Amino acid sequence: MRLGLISVATGIGVTAALVLGAAEGVAAYPPGTAITVTAAPNPVSAGSAFTATAAHVQSGCKVRFTLGERSITVSSSGGSASARFRAPRRAGQVSVRATTTRCSSIESASTTLTITGRPRVTGPHSACTNESFTESASNFAPNTQISITLTRADDMQSTRDAGRSLVQSGTTDGSGSVSLRFTVKNSGTYLVTAVGPGQHATTSVSVSRCSHDH
C-alpha cells in the first residue's frame, strides 16, 4: 500500500493531509492491478528486433521503456503501451524495464530477455544430384514454423525459371532448431535461405552429378 499526499482547502488556507492508500494503484489500470511488462519474441536472436509491451497502465500516462542505456518513452492507450527495440548483438540475458511517467504516482516492472546467437542455416558445402542431404536451421525462435528454400543461382536471374525453388517447412524445437531434407535433380549452385518470423539466414550448396549417378 502506498501513501498519497492530497490538499484540502479550508477557509483560512490550504492544509496538507496524508491519506493512507490514496495513491494506491493510480498509475495502474484497472486500479489495484500492478503494471506488467513482456518482451516478444523471447528468446530473441542477437541483433534482431523485439517488442516490449507494458500492460495495466492508466490511459494517458506515459511509459518509459529501458534496455541497457537506451530508453524510449511512449504514450499509453487502452491500458497498454509498447516500443520496438533491437536486441544487443551478444548472446546472454538483459533486463527490460517499463516505468510510468507523468502520472500522479510511479509504477515500474521488469522482465528478463534472453538473447541467442544469430540465426544460422548450415548444411554440406557440396552434394550429389538425386541424393538427399540435410539443411539445418538454428538460433531461431523456439516452437515456431520456419521455411528453408533452395534456389538455383541461374534460376534467380531467369523469369522463365522463377518458381522452381525447392521449399520445405518445419517447426523449431525448444532450442530454436530444425533440420529438413532435400533432394535436388539439377546440378548448380543453390542459395539456401531459412526464414522465420522476423528472422532469416542464408548459405549455399553446390550440387553436381556424381560419377555413380545414372
Interval 19-60: pLDDT, tens: 333 334 445 666 667 899 999 988 888 888 999 999 999 878
**185 and 104 assigned to the same domain:** no
- Strands (E) in the chain, as ranges, are 3-10, 13-20, 36-40, 44-45, 49-55, 62-67, 70-75, 80-86, 92-101, 108-116, 120-122, 126-128, 132-138, 145-152, 166-171, 178-183, 188-196, 199-208
Return the C-alpha torsion angle 99, 100, 106, 108, nearest 10: -30
C-alpha cell at 175: 532450442
Whole-number Å distance between alpha carbons of 127 and 205: 7
Given a cut of 50, whether residue 159 has pLDDT beyond it is no
Domain boundary pick from 77, 96, 116: 116
For residue 17, pLDDT beyond 90: no
Residues 67, 149 within the same domain: no
Does 174 score more than 60 pLDDT?
yes
Q: How many domains does the chain have?
A: 2
- Does residue 154 sit in helix, strand or coil? helix
Please indicate, yes or no, whether residues 32 and 62 belong to a single structural domain of this protein.
Answer: yes
Q: Which residue has the higher pLDDT, 211 or 213?
A: 211
For residues 174 and 17, the answer to whether their CB atoms sit within 8 Å is: no
Which domain-ending residue is among 116, 138, 161?
116
Domain contains 3: no
pLDDT of residue 185: 93
Q: Mean pLDDT, to the nearest integer, of 200-210?
A: 95
Q: Which of 33, 50, 32 is nearest to 41 (CA)?
A: 50
Q: pLDDT-derived band of residue 179, with 50, 70 and 90 as boundaries? A: very high
Q: Do residues 180 and 100 make contact, with C-beta atoms less than 8 angstroms apart?
A: no
What pLDDT does 32 receive? 62
Claim to verify: residue 139 and residue 101 sit in the same structural domain = no
Query: Which pTM does this prediction carry?
Result: 0.59
Domain with 96, as residue range(s), is: 24-116
CATH code, domain with 164:
2.60.40.1930
pLDDT at 12: 37
**Does 93 share its domain with 29?**
yes
Phi, psi at 175, each rounded to 5°:
-100, 0
